Structure 1
Amino acid sequence: MDIANVSLFKKIATLGTLSAAARQLGLPAMTVSRRLASLEDELGVRLFHRTTRSVSLTPEGEAFLPYATTLLETHDAALAAMVTGESGLRGVLKVTAPNLIGRSLIVPALTRLMADNPLLKVDLTLTDGIVDIVGSGLDIAIRVSPLESTELVATQLAPNPRILCAAPNYIRRFGKPATTADLVAHPCLTLHGMSAWPLEIGGETRMVRVTGPFATSSVEAVRAACIEGAGIGMMTYWDVWQCLEDGSLERIELSDANPGGLGIWAVYPTRQQLPKRIRALMDQLRAQLAASQDHG
């Protein structure tokens, strides 16, 4: 059985159309159709119901899917097991991460991993949006919160507390808020859809409405506006850790509330045998995050 055709079957089942699978694999639609037909002929069953717009698994296709998944995972594990000694890690590591954390943390970790493993290639997607890991064929996503999904596994790599902060020049002009009531009187820099900030008050999380002159879709833009003294921002520690170190931002602590915390999470498709390149990236990030936090 051609493992490439099994992988093609899994891709079509995940994406729901032959044309989507063809686009992601960079193959002509006719080639995809021909290879699927070859697999069906080999198995002696029809794997998909086909319409002009989509496909759906037949009962036989649904029965074959878990076997195909196990076969592909075993194949990947066998290839990974063959990588030894001087050759190091190999293959393409496909990663997605948020823009700001991606640039400050993930890129350095990936470049170190590539330096130690010359046969390893990296495909990195930086976006503040949520990417469909399975549908996009990614190995791993680095996120600031886990997702509830039966198809994914989330492993926390480090804590990531939320932080209120402002630039020194803003604090000199307007002072630091000391309480929640003080905070809501200050101009706050918000992300779209987050006009209320989560604050832990009296043992419970409350959404406190804030207002200000600046709203954006980008955490990086919030940080830049904050550094310029435009107001107070709520970001995570790993968004601003370098700014706290170099003094371009100062932390604000309230006497009656704290912003709580998130985490740095590795999110990846459920599998029995995790490829060595994914484990290596997780180990590299854990070490790097711990070292940076200790230094900070």
Structure 2
Amino acid sequence: MARCKRSLRHSSTKGPSVLVPVGIVVILSFNKHMLAIRQVARAALHLILPPLCSSCQTPVSTPHAFCHTCWGAMQRIDGAVCVQCGIPFPSPVLEGEKCIHCSADEPAYTHVRAAATYDDLSRALVLRLKHADQTDLIPSLGQLMLSCGASLLMQADLLVPVPLHYTRLIRRQFNQSALLARWLAEKTNKAVATQILVRHRATKTQGHKKRTERFKNVRDAFSVHEQAPPLIKNKNILLIDDVMTTGATLHECAKTLLQAGALGVNGLVLARVALAE
């Protein structure tokens, strides 16, 4: 085992070292280049073929857009939500209030906003992105996040994607949250750091776990890179992720960043489960 010594552009806060086999680093580098090749090939194809809806694949006038039908079917979250975790409320009377869970056990993050509820439509998009390598969906999905998270993006000093454990990164070949974070950073002229936060423990899949089990599963699973930049200190960080259910992962990431000196941590996600478990 050889310690991964990839340095960060900025200086460090102390954190656990992450031991990564040299061979793994080579594989990750190869996967990154293969992903770039596929992205170029898809971009070339889009130049030849007419633009299609990002969801149903019917022709549209603008690339990386949704047709009117899919846009209307998208359950965007734009009503009353929990002021902290962003879960939708059934009544506008509750606007500005906290949900039961945030009131009982306050998360480490300050605010989280989600672009849409995690339903059949958004789930299909997320699965196509994560498991079918359809990274050309990033602009369409990123635009949804950009629209709902404008105020959080404006407040942020740094965008940080929720990391994958390196074993899962090898299987998937890319981190979808990092791709979304880079797209958002480019559109808002914000700094993005994909190596500050490390998932040093391979956690079990959160699916089908109860709320308490989800929090237990990710507890102490994250750390700050030993060479993490000093811009963490006294800065507002915006975590970027694809899907949120209970907020356990975002809570753990936020807790880790705050312990490393961050001033505050918010979250912006593509979709979230509408009803708390």
Q: Same fold (TM over 0.5)?
A: no
Structure having the larger proportion of residues in strand: 1
Higher relative contact order (CA 8 A, sep 6+): 2
Q: Output the TM-score relative to the length of structure 1.
A: 0.20
Q: Output the TM-score relative to the length of structure 2.
A: 0.21
